[in-house]
């Protein structure tokens, strides 16, 4: 019996080392098509181990533990939904889970597709959907649809050899990804049909084009499976599921010729026991202190979620939000009564344009230099300075906020400055005050600042040029 089932001959350790260690989520470079990866694994000497899972978290735990792949187990997925493993879940239900696992890990996902969800036409449809979902291999079993889990006593009806062989042929005819593997599973031993039937069916499914044969058994002894491995003289790799005959070791199975060993449901069962114990202890003890040491810390949860990778990608690709704009509304110059409401009007206009912080210095009216020197707008991207009494026009304000120069002006009483330029403007104002010119107007202060090398633009002139 061949251990590879295809003609790829890849020395151990040469191919998979190319993979970069990727961490979820959104791993990019280094990941390859999982079906090709599974083919490569099958081409290596020795046997492989995969383990059952029913969601991406379980798949990641399998990957981190070091399994070669993930078994998208029909039993696990249906149990996770509180349902029996009797083909109640639809193909799309199970596909969604298998695909989500394939997206979450780099190791290949082998999907348990039960009896193929119907006849050969359903199988063809299924193949197309599963390969598009990134699954590396599908496994279909020769039970009659709807199936019942192999370990449930009672109805275990087999499809006729011809009908199931035709399903296998249909699966192979439907695939577009040449690397996708179709595993044909015979339940002959489960259904009590005996070894001869199992061997005959394996031959028929191999002849129909299967890429591997899964021999399932439900006794506590590995003997029937070991006998099958010994007697079947087909060329395909053989897959085994030592759920009930668990005393046999991986090495013994590999030695006997098994190529792929599936530990089908151990994560599910471990979870049921661990969760039940912890839930009980919480109720018994009235607090969680006693269970803390035996439950995963939150840091482990964040790690499995791929939070580190998310932070890296956020730093790379999500621009930090722009600092808000601030506004300084200078006091109105001495004038007729009613200047106060005009100040409020300016403030309202700025707020309406999304200028987020508004500072209205309380200084003697008309003393622009004093007001500028006294106002610290904090950490803002641009600072709008409004003198006079009029609310700024929308167009002028938009052009000011959009200007990239350090200083943008629109007339004598309206300007927008970058944060650093506004700091320099305050220094200029302080200098004027120190020189005894506290009432210096905004336009004069800006002229002082522009003369020290800050880039300046007059957006009124720019608007005129546009027009
Ligand atoms: C599954 O995990 O759903 C299987 C394997 O098909 S078993 O439950 O052992 O039949
Ligand atoms: Mg199953």
d(CA 217, CA 222): 8
Residue 366 binned pLDDT confidence (cut-offs 50, 70, 90)? low
- Tell me the pairing of strands 414-418 and 382-386: antiparallel
- Determine whether the shortest distance from the Cβ of 265 to ligand 1 is under 6 A: yes
Q: Whose CA is nearest to atom 5 of ligand 1?
A: 264
pTM of the full structure: 0.74
d(CA 68, CA 71): 10
Neighbours of 360 (CB within 10 A): 17
Highest mean pLDDT out of 20-24, 340-344, 356-360, 439-443: 439-443
Atom of ligand 1 nearest to the CA of 262: 5
Would you say residue 6 has pLDDT above 50? Answer: no
Ligand 2 centroid to 380 CA: how many Å? 60
CA-nearest of 418, 349, 345, 423 to 383 is 418
SS3 310: helix
Q: What is the DSSP string of 148-215?
A: --TTSSS--PBPPHHHHHHHHHHHHHH--STT-EEEEEE-TTTTT--HHHHHHHHHHHHHTT-SEEEE
Residue, of 462 and 459, whose pLDDT is higher: 459
Q: What confidence score (pLDDT) does residue 116 get?
A: 98
Domain ranges within the chain, ordered by starting residue: 23-286, 326-466
Q: Do domains 23-286 and 326-466 have the same CATH topology?
A: no
- Determine whether the shortest distance from the Cβ of 243 to ligand 1 is under 6 A: yes
Q: What confidence score (pLDDT) does residue 30 get?
A: 52
* CATH numeric code, 326-466: 3.90.550.10
Would you say residue 335 has pLDDT above 80? Answer: no
Phi, then psi, of 251 in degrees rounded to 5: -60, -40
Q: Which residues are catalytic?
A: 85
| Beta carbons of 93 and 84 less than 8 angstroms apart | no
Would you say residue 434 has pLDDT above 70? Answer: yes
| Beta carbons of 356 and 325 less than 8 angstroms apart | yes
d(CA 384, CA 377): 10
Q: What distance separates the 2 farthest-apart alpha carbons in the chain?
A: 111
d(CA 127, CA 314): 36
Of 241, 242, 263, 269, best ligand 1 pocket probe by most atoms within 8 Å of the beta carbon: 241
Phi, then psi, of 236 in degrees rounded to 5: -85, 155
Residue 342 binned pLDDT confidence (cut-offs 50, 70, 90)? low
Ligand 2 centroid to 113 CA: how many Å? 7
Would you say residue 23 has pLDDT above 60? Answer: no
Instruction: Tell me which CATH homologous superfamily contains domain 23-286.
Output: Phosphoenolpyruvate-binding domains (3.20.20.60)
d(CA 101, CA 93): 13
| Beta carbons of 256 and 226 less than 8 angstroms apart | yes
Average pLDDT over residues 109-124: 98
Phi, then psi, of 414 in degrees rounded to 5: -135, 130
Phi, then psi, of 444 in degrees rounded to 5: -70, -40
Question: What average pLDDT does the chain have?
Answer: 88
């Amino acid at each position: 019996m061949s251990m590879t089932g295809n003609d790829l001959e890849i020395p151990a350790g040469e191919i998979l080392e190319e993979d970069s260690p990727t961490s979820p989520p959104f791993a990019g470079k280094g990941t390859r098509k999982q079906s090709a990866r599974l083919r490569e694994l099958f081409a290596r000497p020795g046997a492989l181990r995969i383990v059952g899972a029913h969601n991406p978290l379980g798949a990641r735990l399998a990957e981190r533990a070091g399994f070669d792949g993930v078994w998208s187990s029909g039993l696990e997925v249906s149990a996770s939904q509180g349902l029996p493993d009797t083909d109640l879940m639809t193909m799309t239900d199970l596909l969604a889970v298998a695909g989500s696992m394939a997206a979450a890990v780099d190791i290949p996902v082998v999907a348990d597709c039960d009896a193929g969800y119907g006849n050969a036409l359903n199988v063809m449809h299924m193949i197309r959907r599963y390969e598009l979902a990134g699954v590396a291999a599908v496994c279909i079993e020769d039970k009659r649809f709807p199936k019942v889990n192999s370990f449930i006593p009672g109805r275990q009806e087999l499809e006729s050899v011809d009908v199931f062989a035709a399903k296998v042929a249909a699966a192979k005819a439907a695939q577009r990804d040449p690397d996708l593997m179709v595993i044909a599973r015979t339940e002959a031993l489960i259904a009590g049909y005996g070894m001869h039937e199992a061997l005959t069916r394996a031959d028929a499914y191999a002849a129909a084009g299967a890429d591997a044969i899964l021999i399932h058994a439900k006794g506590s002894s590995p003997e029937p499976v070991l006998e099958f491995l010994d007697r079947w003289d087909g060329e395909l790799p053989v897959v085994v599921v030592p759920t009930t005959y668990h005393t046999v070791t991986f090495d013994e199975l590999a030695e006997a010729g098994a190529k792929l060993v599936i530990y089908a449901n151990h994560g599910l069962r471990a979870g049921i026991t661990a969760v039940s114990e912890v839930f009980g202890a919480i109720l018994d003890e009235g607090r969680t202190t006693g269970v803390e040491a035996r439950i995963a810390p939150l840091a482990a949860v964040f790690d499995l979620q791929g939070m580190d990778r998310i932070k890296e990608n956020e730093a790379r690709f999500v621009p930090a939000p722009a600092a808000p704009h601030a506004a300084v509304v200078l006091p109105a110059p001495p004038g007729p009564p009613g200047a106060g409401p005009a100040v409020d009007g300016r403030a309202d206009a700025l707020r309406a344009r999304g200028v987020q912080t508004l500072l209205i210095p309380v200084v003697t009216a008309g003393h622009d230099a004093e007001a500028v020197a006294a106002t610290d707008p904090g950490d803002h991207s641009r600072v709008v300075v409004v003198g006079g009494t009029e609310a700024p026009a929308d167009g002028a304000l938009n052009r000011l906020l959009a200007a990239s120069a350090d200083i943008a002006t629109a007339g004598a009483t309206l300007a927008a400055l970058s944060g650093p330029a506004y700091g320099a403007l305050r220094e200029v104002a302080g200098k004027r005050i120190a020189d005894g010119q506290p009432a210096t107007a905004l336009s004069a202060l800006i002229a002082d600042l522009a003369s020290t090398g800050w880039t300046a633009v007059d957006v009124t002139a720019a608007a005129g040029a546009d027009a």
